[in-house]
Amino acid sequence: DGGITQSPKYLFRKEGQNVTLSCEQNLNHDAMYWYRQDPGQGLRLIYYSQIVNDFQKGDIAEGYSVSREKKESFPLTVTSAQKNPTAFYLCASSSTPALSGNTIYFGEGSWLTVV
């Protein structure tokens, strides 16, 4: 949603290949997140980062890697170790810390398909 750009929108991966999904935000948010969504299912957290050069595993981090070298950027690499990567990937960001609840803002998502 406005201020978070994901690219590409559609990506095809061959077996055994690593691919990287880009996520850039201009909202000056400290925290960034990556979620995976399988068709008809809810969102599952892959990785999250509270601050530059720091990130934590979410519920389904195996087969994925991230980096947070800049505040604006949080790329996700889907490695060959991820055996079933076909899914919709969503990047999000939010501001921290909070005296009141902060909302998460989402990008428009990226579809990854294994061919």
CB of 30 to other proteins, least distance (A): 9
Q: How far apart, in whole angstroms, are the C-alpha atoms of residue 106 and residue 74? A: 13
Contact partners, residue 9, CB within 8 Å, separation at least 6: 108, 109, 110, 111
Q: Does 103 bind other proteins (CB under 8 A)?
A: yes
| Interacting span for other proteins (CB under 8 A) from 14-22, 29-37, 68-76, 79-87 | 29-37
CB of 101 to other proteins, least distance (A): 3
Judged by CB under 8 A, which of 19, 21, 23, 31 binds other proteins? 31
Q: What is the DSSP string of 59-89?
A: TT-TTEEE--SBTTB--EEE-TT-S---EEE
For residues 36 to 55, the per-residue mask of contacts with other proteins, x marking binding by CB under 8 A and - elsewhere, is -----xxxxx--x-x-----
Q: List C-alpha distances in Å: 60 to 22, 34, 70, 80.
A: 19, 10, 23, 15
- Residues near other proteins (CB under 8 A): 1, 4, 31, 33, 35, 41-45, 48, 50, 56, 58-59, 88, 90, 92, 94, 96-98, 100-109, 111
